[in-house]
Amino acid sequence: MNRIPLRVVSAVIATVGVLVANVAAGEFALRDGDRVVFLGDSITAARTYTKIIENYTLLRFPRQRFRFFNAGLGGDTATGALKRLERDVFSCNPTVLTVCFGLNDIGWGLHADDEHKVRYIDSLERIIRICQERKVRVFVCSGPVTAEDPDNSETGFLQTMCDEAFMMAHRNGAATIDVQRPMRDVQRRIVAVNKTISDKSKHVKLHLADGVHLNDLGHLAMAFAFLKGLDAPGEVSHAVIDAQSAVATMSTGCRISDIRVVDDGCSFKRLDDGLPFNSGLFYALNFLYVPMHREFNGYTICVSGLPTGTYTIVADGRSSKQATARQLAAGVDIASTTTDAWQPGGPWDVQATILKSLTDARHELDSARFLSRLYLPGHALVDELDRDVASAEDQIVELQRMAARPRTYQFEIRRKDDPPADALKATR
């Protein structure tokens, strides 16, 4: 991994925090109580883009109950998936199924012909019909992009095959998610950046060396495409506060209370309906290429009436951003900002990081159960794992919900040259 100077990291994370316009979306496609199964090949089996979608959903809709299951299998095709629906999908009692195949169906391009295309589309149609008989809502998804030139792949066999599958899905009453085109937009941003970097070993990529499997940035791009297809909401919450009159003039997705003028700043309490998506230290660097922060993660604050100067935004004792009075009056996004690149920012950032660890743990358990069913069918161990893992997972799910639950944060907007509150107490 190439080391990035800390000053560059800090500057990039600060840049991500500027106020941005959010894209309006329809109603989120997932509903309270949904049990979502991700069905796919090795890219799904990597459990990376799926966990991003899970964490986003749990953070954004903490009062709703969701369960997520992974039914990805390396090397699988839409035809192969038909044979394991009962074991790997319906055993989870799903209400929603996402189906993501394509690359293996055409042999990574070696069998890109009408015969394999027909087999792929026919298999998807059978999956849709079987699921509809079980009252399961189906989302047919295109496979992710490969590492080929994004402009050439726009009219390539994989995209056109998936587009034909979309038409079939619509005729059969199923929903669709176009994974490739949003990922291709990300590719174009990366191509533009790479043109400015002469050392090819430092080029940004979405893929591993084979040009098919995704790295972490690629999985984020894929999750981003899924969220677009699911009509994920664009704004977490937004608050507008007049520091002079100590009044909240607007709040969406949150409740502001106990506003007080404090020396040259102000303080207030904020309780959000949901929290922004974060995923650990330096993760916000990925948002330079995948615009999660702009389209799905707006967590903003606007404070007017402050004297000229630079201020630090502190929540529950954690510094999340420094901004001038003019910037605060215009509004700043604090979803993924931090004043120390080696530390998470606000408490919402910490909560998201904790949630990530819990989600990882839950998927390790689920992976053990999945592997036992796959390779030890009929063995006593399978039933034992099903019973005990299910109980352990239920406990972790409750811990996930606890970690993602919004808390009332105590905000303080402090002038940068003011001593911290604990230092003031020590001198009194």
Give, for all 428 residues of the chain, the pLDDT tens digit.
344 444 434 444 444 443 333 333 469 999 999 999 999 999 999 999 999 999 999 999 999 999 999 999 999 999 999 999 999 999 999 999 999 999 999 998 899 999 999 999 999 999 999 999 999 999 999 999 999 999 999 999 999 999 999 999 999 999 999 999 999 999 999 999 999 999 999 999 999 999 999 999 999 999 999 999 999 998 999 999 999 999 999 999 999 999 999 878 999 999 999 999 999 999 999 999 999 999 999 999 999 999 999 999 999 999 999 999 999 999 999 999 999 999 999 999 999 999 999 999 999 999 998 899 889 998 999 888 888 888 999 999 999 999 999 999 999 999 987 555 544 344 34
- pTM given for the model: 0.90
- Give the neighbor-by-neighbor strand order of the sheet with 408-415: 254-262, 265-272, 408-415, 310-315, 318-324
Tally of CB atoms within 10 A around 86: 9
What are the structural domains, with CATH classification, of the chain? 1-24+234-428 (no CATH), 27-229 (3.40.50.1110)
Contact by Cβ (8 Å): 38, 68: yes
Contact by Cβ (8 Å): 305, 242: yes
Q: Report the alpha-carbon distance of residue 411 to residue 278 in Å, rounded.
A: 20
Gyration radius (Cα) of the chain, Å: 23
Specify the DSSP class assigned to residue 278: -
Distance of CA 332 to the CA centre of its chain: 21
Phi-psi region of 317 (alpha: psi -120 to 50; beta: other; left: phi over 0): left
Specify the DSSP class assigned to residue 88: I
Contact by Cβ (8 Å): 204, 30: no
**Per-residue pLDDT at 382:** 87
Residue carrying the six token digits 């981003």 = 224
Q: How many helices (H) and strands (E) does the chain have?
A: 14, 14
Q: Tell me which residue of 279, 253, 422, 248 sits closest to 348, measured CA to CA.
A: 279
Which two tokens mark 419?
């001593």
